[in-house]
A and B are shown apart, each in its own frame.
Chain A
């Protein structure tokens, strides 16, 4: 029986020694974070582009994202819009837009304006001929102020009622990014 005890003790010692690794852990290379969304609105007839940008430098940390709108929109104007998504935790920044474009059937942007300040229309289609929203048009009419909310849903039900025309109510799925911008039309 003594042998058994010795054997047991030996086993314990070896396993304890083997598992004593004390290297510093490496920081996680965060894969899916979107720190920054920039919507660039270029006037159809030419002119300076307006950018709507949100950046969350601590990505999900306690600090709120910084939201900037580069300037007012002009009345009675059509703007061509594009969206760029970045993960700026990485250097150089990772372009998430490409990822969304690649999986366009699983993603859709939704645009909601208050006070009828602008109307937004989709200018792109996914593999199933349904809207994505990486490209869109913004049309202004009279002067005023309001908000524009841009939301990216992952795995929405694009065939649900109203979803393909931009109504988020029945979309389902989960929100990847969402931001409200204060808009002035003058």
Chain B
């Protein structure tokens, strides 16, 4: 194979020169896979009207010399690709990136593959590949994407991890898995995304709302989880990862197997299971913090270049224990918990998961069909169905701990279609349409008033995107999207609450009937949302710049509209407001990327102004028979967020490199001129790496993470009357915990067992010094420290 290429190359260079006055132009370029940007080796680039041609090298590069300054047709061909024709006009030297649709050769080039293609060109997007994701196989998606500067998480304990992008989370971060928009009650801070990290092949994080294809309401950003890639070749391959960890005595197993044929049918399946018992802080056990998680997914399909289809099914189930000590009955209990500095319940290690706990399961069924129309583009049609079940168990009286206190069943159907007009590679358009129906059913058998009401939700979205290659160094993206949301809810309000909210004045027409001390109401709201984005990518020799502007609007979620009741772990009453309208964000951002020799630098900055930012804030105290509780109410303010994320790496020696990733963010409530709550503090991660390929691909890295104290926070402290002392006491729920510094160490080696099989063994120590610390963005920070030292080991077989 190689010999042939050299021969062809030599031949290519020996091509006769047709002498003319201006025939000294060069046409340089790179040939990549149509789908994923893999460089293609051995592609032929031939001038149609002459005998001149060149062959691409291992990096996909080619050079055609001595071209005349006139319009030329070039034919690009490869043994396993569809031949294409392009026109060039070599008035000066030309550089071009050429995409070929690649059929067979893919598997051979897995190792050659450079960067997987990004979803966007002019957004702040970062991709995490499978080798990084696999490190987190006993953890979660939220833990993994913290690798990216500017991405953090808001946690409930250490197993409920919700991604935060540039300071925003929950309904403001949209999660796509396998091209399905995840609908899993994502409005709740204690609701982690129902995604198994073991099923992810790669994850793209797009900061801001630039990726309109996925939705117009991603004010924070989009997390795109892609499945493992399928190769259309007659083959059978798989991977198994076995991991164990010392803290929590946890283990994980994740395995996948893919069979594909030339035909080109394929079938793939993946299973993972992980389990851990009570985790441990340096000074005590964190009782009832175990987790049991099982997931399964399978897909099959037929993929020709011209048309194809896929069918996909996944099942995900999580049972998560919540720190026993975090269940508090009233403010007095909360004060005791805050003052005691350690959990009120500490028991010896156990795998048991008791109340309080969560049991969540999520199923996705998806089918899609695509067809390419020659010289026109590609049509995609997709239908997906999701069913999410969330059960939250509380410590209850009368043997009711086995009956969930929250029991929600969310069903979503989505039908969507896109048409990509890509016949002209300089101006690619994408048109899209999506329609969705959702039903939420809160089971009344809980014996607890519904947290979220019954509702039907209807969504309709239309978008147009344009991707223009103005010249070889300049790309312009523009897009607009319109979304219609209608929510039709049936909610019971206590009559006293209805009046206290002033709804009797404004919304009396919503009352259906009275039932005891409650009204049954039928609020129906329609929202019209416009979003738009435009971005510019400028390429220079060793650097590139991105500028992006995005307008996005998000309709309020059911919690913001309808919340009404006591929140146990926070000891507060949370109230929604049906007067709440959309929030509208204007975000501008700029990125600078520099890469030369051994040095790389990436700086991303953004400013986000949000009109009508929906925000929960304390408004007073209410007394019940359980005692007094602070009342937190959703309201709308104007807010601004500003941040800078940097990533610097330097290979200062053949085997040694250093990297630093830092992020800084500020959030302000412009209405009352205070800092926003739950804004991540300054975080800086430095890594020293050593790698020596001669020692079985040995890698070792030492990581130092510094997290400073958040000094800008709103003061939501309140005075509570403590019955047993007969005095008022200040309840400090606002002050962030002190700064902390963590060290971790990780090493891995890779053995080739046979030609096609290899084994990677890795060993990691987190929190090397067993440091006791608390994190501002952990909802259980009042009750317990974060995890202590953990040793983990992982075996990864590829076959």
Q: Which residues of A contact B (CB under 8 A)?
A: 1, 4-5, 8, 11-12, 15-16, 19, 21-22, 24-32, 34-37, 54, 56-65, 89, 96, 99-100, 102-103, 106, 110, 112, 114, 147, 149, 151, 153-155, 157, 168, 172-180
Contact = CB atoms under 8 A, between A and B. Distances in A.
A103 B385 CA distance: 44
A25 B454 contact: yes
Contacts of A180: 723, 726
Nearest to B624: A60
A58 B626 CA distance: 13
Contacts of B385: 15
Nearest to B398: A99
B345 to A, nearest CB: 7
A177 B626 CA distance: 4
Given A12-B383, A32-B448, A58-B497, A24 B345 contact: no
A78 B566 CA distance: 39
Contacts of A99: 397-398
Contact of B369 (A5, A61, A112): A5
A14 to B, nearest CB: 11
Given A16-B437, A58-B517, A147-B726, A8 B330 contact: no
Given A30-B448, A102-B398, 11 more contacts: A16-B413, A25-B492, A28-B450, A32-B398, A32-B447, A35-B625, A58-B495, A65-B624, A103-B397, A174-B328, A175-B627
Interface in B363-422: 367, 369, 371, 381, 383, 385, 395-398, 400, 403, 411, 413, 415
B623 interface: yes
* Of B309, B395, B517, B625, most A-chain CB atoms within 10 Å: B625
A30 B729 CA distance: 32
B307 interface: yes
B329 interface: yes
Nearest to A102: B398
Given A32-B447, A89-B516, A112-B723, A178 B494 contact: no
11 contacts: A11-B383, A24-B490, A27-B444, A32-B397, A32-B400, A63-B496, A89-B516, A103-B398, A174-B327, A176-B397, A177-B625
Contacts of A35: 625
Contact of B395 (A24, A174, A178): A174
B708 interface: no
Contacts of A96: 397
A30 to B, nearest CB: 6
B558 to A, nearest CB: 14
Interface string B318-336: 0000000001111011001
B517 A89 contact: yes
B704 interface: no
Contacts of B517: 57-59, 61, 89
B739 interface: no
A7 to B, nearest CB: 9
Nearest to A54: B625
* Of A8, A89, A147, most B-chain CB atoms within 10 Å: A8
B612 interface: no
Given A1-B371, A5-B369, A172-B345, A28 B625 contact: no
A62 B500 contact: yes
A175 B626 contact: yes
B383 A8 contact: yes
B12 to A, nearest CB: 41
B512 interface: yes
B70 interface: no
A99 B398 CA distance: 6
A38 to B, nearest CB: 12
A1 B345 CA distance: 61
B716 interface: no
Nearest to B489: A25
Given A29-B447, A112-B723, A56 B624 contact: yes
A176 B454 CA distance: 28
A5 B437 contact: no
A53 B413 CA distance: 52
A33 to B, nearest CB: 9
Nearest to A115: B726
A176 B329 contact: yes
A175 B367 CA distance: 50
Contacts of A16: 413, 437
B24 interface: no
Closest 9 interchain pairs by CB? A31-B447, A174-B329, A175-B329, A62-B500, A58-B496, A172-B344, A61-B494, A61-B496, A149-B723
A142 B674 CA distance: 53
B369 A1 contact: yes
Contacts of B512: 24
Given A1-B371, A29-B444, A62-B500, A151 B723 contact: yes
A152 B396 CA distance: 14
* Of A24, A25, A37, most B-chain CB atoms within 10 Å: A25
Interface string B187-229: 0000000000000000000000000000000000000000000
A62 B498 CA distance: 9
B238 interface: no
A103 B490 CA distance: 36
Given A12-B413, A154-B329, A30 B447 contact: yes
Contact of A27 (B309, B403, B492): B492
A60 B333 contact: no
Interface in B435-463: 437, 439, 442, 444, 446-450, 453-454, 456
B729 to A, nearest CB: 14
B54 to A, nearest CB: 39
B333 A32 contact: no
A8 to B, nearest CB: 6
Contacts of A59: 494, 517, 624-625
A147 B726 CA distance: 9
Nearest to B340: A172
A5 B309 CA distance: 10
A89 to B, nearest CB: 7
A119 to B, nearest CB: 15
A24 B511 CA distance: 13
Contacts of A4: 309, 369
B97 interface: no
* Of B415, B449, B516, most A-chain CB atoms within 10 Å: B449
Contacts of B520: 24-25, 27
Given A27-B516, A28-B444, A28-B446, A175 B333 contact: yes
Contact of A34 (B454, B515, B625): B625
Interface in B498-527: 500, 512, 515-518, 520
A28 B449 contact: yes
Nearest to A167: B724
A11 B385 CA distance: 10
Contacts of B447: 28-32
Contacts of B109: none
Interface in B284-341: 307, 309, 327-330, 332-333, 336
Contacts of A178: 330, 332, 625-627, 723
A19 B437 contact: yes
* Of A21, A32, A96, A110, most B-chain CB atoms within 10 Å: A32
B472 interface: no
B89 interface: no
B388 to A, nearest CB: 14
B29 interface: no
B622 interface: yes
A61 B442 CA distance: 20
A106 B723 CA distance: 22
Nearest to B517: A58
Nearest to B444: A28
Given A1-B369, A1-B371, A175 B381 contact: no
B156 to A, nearest CB: 18
B726 A62 contact: no
A59 B573 CA distance: 13
A110 B725 CA distance: 13
